[in-house]
Structure 1
């Protein structure tokens, strides 16, 4: 049921409260649990709060706070770009991975992990984490550019052609990742496997800053395209009659999605289903109006990823599950229920 306009601000407020609660849990819970009051004191001690034990201060400031910031930025960006892609394709089952960004990023990272070690050996050993991030970003950008090029036609950019090209590029990238995995030794294979499952364990302030720098244009520009996305829901011809520059908007949506998702995959590895599930959950409450859908998706996406990370830390503590496993376990059943619902409505 879609809420009335006067209640939509209330939903945004509740989502903000949920995000703040998720932030507190992310800082407090883990293999070493810290009381909420001590967590807040460790976080705000520079503002005059009483001191906490040094080990708790270190855990909160140097380990969990960067992890929290990375999870919030990545979750908000993945959900925001997912909502934008669903608006572009006019399909609630759409996902940023449809245009090959995630698979291209995985291929770029795999190439650095396997080929970099084989060709350069010890020369890249100390730089491999940074080169992996760079390779993932370059791979995602290259695949997006190729998909966009293949989607060009005499009439402009064809969404259907982009979708088919994205499926083909995803299949090719998956095959190449499989080949690299076959060629990898045990150490490379372990690194590649855990990177492909996604994690926030490698978060630090430098990586968070780089991720935020890449995602800032996405956060700034995509919400401003909400009126154009609303018009595209009526169809491309109708959007043109309403004065929307359809080709420019489609180009912006694809490039911004490539930037946001490529940066998130480069920083955190592959984390699935956030861009699919979150926008649809928000749409059930607020309806298809992107002026509300986009900011609400950002809030819920950040909260969902942080809560999933808490579960990943606690489920097998002191060991840690890859974050992508948790989001898949949560998202896949929802995706199947959504698919069955759409099928019952006769969309397929």
Structure 2
């Protein structure tokens, strides 16, 4: 059996957000049925370089039968060196045989499945009449969040883009996003207003759903700004010490995790739990529990809901399987015998 090697550009050509959304939803369900294993997360902060690395791994059963790992590097200063700031590699194995089936760029698949995760949180927990979305963070991940959310919630007609540390980046994204959505994701956003907002408070007060994708280590969104019924999908906090929300937002909110143990350790809920503002026992359940109807979702239109998503490699595995199958069908990539 050969091992397929795929580059970022090749993956980009063969993978579709709609397929990824379906796979991510299915894997969340498998996890809640006990058909997956998340192995311990390894991460490291390069303080001198203001950079980070993490290694994620896992095993997903059911119809997938895959295991593997990925290493991701986030070195923001690479931009000044003419190098990509975000890169990584992933290895995929057939869990029926233990044989490797794919070695590929990890960055694009990570962005796709992360976009799908944030959007699934919005779709499952935001009010049904939600029409205004806010994205906190205008970096590499923002277009994927917007694309996936508009696919699942096409009634959204206004998107605020906020970047507290780089407002020009938010302006640039707002100016190009409609075209990018059409060309890269086949999403028609001609009826959506994209607004680069300099002040987070202004956007939060208007938003029905908020997706956070920053590296913040102090709150960027304060409790006093949040209107009743707001949903938050929090994806930026994936290492100890990261924090995007005022911990008081957790008080009285219905809170869900992608993986409870991992979220308690490194997620958005880490600091509220450490401070005693929120308790592990108050977590409603995992998002997969909600998708298979083992726990209840939003109970009324005034509740605040939070989906804490630290990132699960089993989602990457399912997305990678789609990329491998589509690439083989298109005769794309290099297949070698190890």
Normalising to structure 2: TM-score of the pair?
Answer: 0.29
| Structure with the larger RCO, 1 or 2 (CA within 8 Å, 6+ apart) | 1
Bigger Rg, structure 1 or 2: 1
More helix by share: 1
Could you tell me the TM-score, scaled by structure 1's length? 0.28
